[in-house]
Copies of this chain bind each other. A is one copy, B any other.
Amino acid sequence: MEQFTVRTKGEVHVLDLTPEVRKRVVASGVREGIACVFVAHSTCAITTLEFEPGLAEEDVPNALDRLFPRHGPGLQYGHERAWHDGNGHSHVRAAFLGPSVTLPVSDGQPVLGTWQQVVLVELDPHPRERTVCLQVVGS
Q: Does A29 contact B (CB under 8 A)?
A: no
Contact B113 A41 (CB under 8 A): yes
Q: Does A17 contact B (CB under 8 A)?
A: no
CB distance from A44 to the nearest CB of B (A): 10
Contact B47 A98 (CB under 8 A): yes
Instruction: State the majority secondary structure of interface residues on A.
Output: mixed
With CB as the reference atom, state the residue of chain B lying closest to A81.
Answer: B54
CB distance from A63 to the nearest CB of B (A): 5
Against B, the Cβ 8 Å flags (1 = close, 0 = not) of A52-90 are 111101111001000110000000011111110000100
Q: How far is the CA of A77 from the CA of B100 in the complex (A)?
A: 26
Q: List the B side residues contacting A58 at CB < 8 Å.
A: 77-79
With A88-B59, A105-B135, A137-B138 known as contacts, the answer to whether A41 contacts B116 (CB < 8 A) is yes
Q: List the B side residues contacting A91 at CB < 8 Å.
A: 49-50, 55, 59
Against B, the Cβ 8 Å flags (1 = close, 0 = not) of A82-123 are 110000100110111111111111100001110110010000
Q: List the B side residues contacting A26 at CB < 8 Å.
A: none
Using a CB–CB distance below 8 Å, which chain A residues touch chain B?
1, 32-34, 36, 38-42, 47-50, 52-55, 57-60, 63, 67-68, 77-83, 88, 91-92, 94-106, 111-113, 115-116, 119, 133-135, 137-138
